[in-house]
Amino acid sequence: MQNNLSAMERINGESIAGIALAFLAVLFIVAAQVNAVWAVALPADYVLLAVGIALIALGRWTTMNANKNPPVEHHH
């Protein structure tokens, strides 16, 4: 069975936030490589990266779960 979802149906807020956090964490990690002040915050950068990856995974799981169980409208 082929999944014919549009791009807007495949990506959600969790995925966007996760991509943004992961990108920000990578920028901070690169900055820590060239600046000693940024290197102090390196453990926090890895935590940001982990949270970003977790949000991306949550977004994928939410999208897959929503596609398996579409919302049902109840009429009274």
Specify whether the backbone of 8 is left (phi greater than 0), alpha (psi in -120 to 50) or beta: alpha
pLDDT tens-place values along the chain, 76 residues long: 445 566 666 788 999 999 999 999 999 999 999 999 999 999 999 999 999 999 999 999 988 887 777 777 777 7
Instruction: Give the model's pLDDT for residue 7.
Output: 63
Task: Give phi and psi for 48, each to the nearest 5.
Answer: -60, -40
Q: Which amino acid is at 68?
A: K
Instruction: Give the model's pLDDT for residue 64.
Output: 85
Model pTM score: 0.76
Instruction: Give the model's pLDDT for residue 67.
Output: 74
**Rounded distance, CA 57 to CA 17, Å?**
11
